[in-house]
Structure 1
Amino acid sequence: MILRQLLHSDPVALSYVVGCGGRAAAAVVDPVGDIAPYLRAAEETGMRILYVIDTHLHADHVSAGRALAEAAGAEYVLFAKAAVKFQFRGVRDGELLELGNVSIQVLHTPGHTPEHISLVVTDRTRANEPWFVLTGHTLMVGDLGRTELATSAEQGARALFQSAQRLKSLPDHLEVLPGAYSGSVCGRSLSGKPTSTIGFEKRYNNAFRIEDADAFVRAMIADVPPAPPQAAQIRAINSGMMAAAE
C-alpha cells in the first residue's frame, strides 16, 4: 500500500492519496486547494487516480474534488444520496471500491452532514482485515464533528451518535485518519496530532466516550462555535447549486 497524508493550513484540513503501487491504482480523499500536489503524488508513485472521494459536502472550503477528477480522468465519488446538481459516482453503505490489492469499504456515518461517509481501508497484501479508517469530519482526534452546518444541531447530533456507535464497533487497533486537526472550524477540542486509533479515542475522546444518546446530544449542541464564514454558500458551491466566484 501507498499512503500520503497532506496537511493543509488554509483551511486547516487533511487529505489523502491512498492506493496500490503494484496495481498502479489510487484514490484521493478530500482534496483541498491546488490539484497539482495530488497529480504529482500519483505520478511519483506510479499510480493512476481512479477515484476522487469527498467524504461529505464541505462547508469550510470549496472542494477540489471535481476539478481533480476531471484532470485525472477519475470518477468523482460521493454518498449516493448526496443532494447535488451534477453527475457523480454514488456509493452506498457497505460498498467496496477496489484499488488492486487495496480495498475501500464505505460506511455511511451521517451527523456532521447527512451524506457523510467514512472509508475503511484494507491492504490484502498485509492482511484480510482493515488497517485504518478515513473518518473525515465524523471522528477526529480529540472530538467529533459539529452537527449544525447542514441540518439542525439536534438532528445532526442524534445521527452522529449512531455513527459514533458504528465506529466504536471497529477494532481498537484500527488507525483513525481524520479530515481535520487542531485549528479547524469543524470541531472544538481537536488535537494537533493528525492520527490516532479507535481504541485511544474510545478511552480519551470526551465526546466519543459518551454512551447515552440524550447526554451526547446535550454535549454536542452546547457551546457550538461560530459557523465557518459563508458556510451555506460554500456548501451550495460544493453541491453545484451555486457557481464559485471567479
Structure 2
Amino acid sequence: MDRASPLNGLTVLVTGAGRGIGRACALSSAQAGARVVAVARTRRDLDDLKEEAGPRLETRQADVTEHAFWRELESDSSIDVLVNNAGTNRLQAIDEVDDATLDLLLMLNVRSAFKISQAVARSMIARRRGGAIIHISSQMGHVGAAKRSVYCMTKHAIEGLTKAMAIELAAHDIRVNAVAPTIVETSMTALFLQDASYRQFAMDTIPLKRIAEPQDVAEAVVYLASPAARLVTGTSLKVDGGATAQ
C-alpha cells in the first residue's frame, strides 16, 4: 500500500457530496489518490467541489431517492468504494413529529441508503473484485436523545444494516462498515450550533470537548476504504470524542 496515496487505483463514489461531511469525504478521497465520483442534487455545489478537487474528481447530479439512480449504480462496474453519506435530520419532540418529517427521514436515511448499497453490492458481486461500503451513521445510532426519535431510529437501522451486510457480503470480499460521528459542524447543524445553549449541551456530552469537523469523519472514511482496513468489517468507527463511552 502506498501510504501517501492509500486509495490509489480505486474509484470512490460519495453520495451527498455537495456539502459538509460528503464534501470532505470526496476531497480527502481524491487527495488519497482515488478517482472520485461525487453525487449531489445541486449543480453549483458540485461545480465548486470540482474546482477545488481537480481532475481526480468527477461530478454526477442526481437525486439519490430515485429509482433511475439506483439502476445506474447497479450497472456501474467501476465502483470500488461506496461512501453512503446522503441523509438529513429534523429536531422534533416525539409528540410533534409530523408525517412529512417521518417519511423524509425514512426515505433518505434508510430506504435510499439501503437501495444504493444494494445496487452497488450487486455490481461488486457481478465483477468479482471485492470492494468496500461505508455508511455514514451517527453516535445517535448507538444512543438515544430528546427530539431525535426519528433520526435515532434511522441511524440504529443503518448500524444494523452494516452488520448484516458485512456478514452476507464477506463471501464476496466486500467489507461493510459505518462511521458514527458526534455532532459535526456543517451547514445542516450551523443553525443549532449558533444557539449558545445548544453548543454548551453539545460540549457537555463530549469528553474531548471538541465539536467534530467534517475532516474528522473523512479521515476515518479514508482509513476504512484503504487496504489498511482489509480485515475490518461489520464495525462502527465512532468519531465522537468519547460521547458514547459514558
Do these two structures clear the TM 0.5 threshold for a shared fold by scoring above it? no
In terms of fraction of residues, the more helix-rich structure is 2
Question: Which structure is higher in strand share?
Answer: 1
**TM-score category of the 2 structures, normalised to the smaller one:** 0.3 to 0.5
Q: What TM-score does the superposition give when structure 1 sets the normalisation length?
A: 0.33
Taking structure 2 as the reference length, the TM-score comes to: 0.33
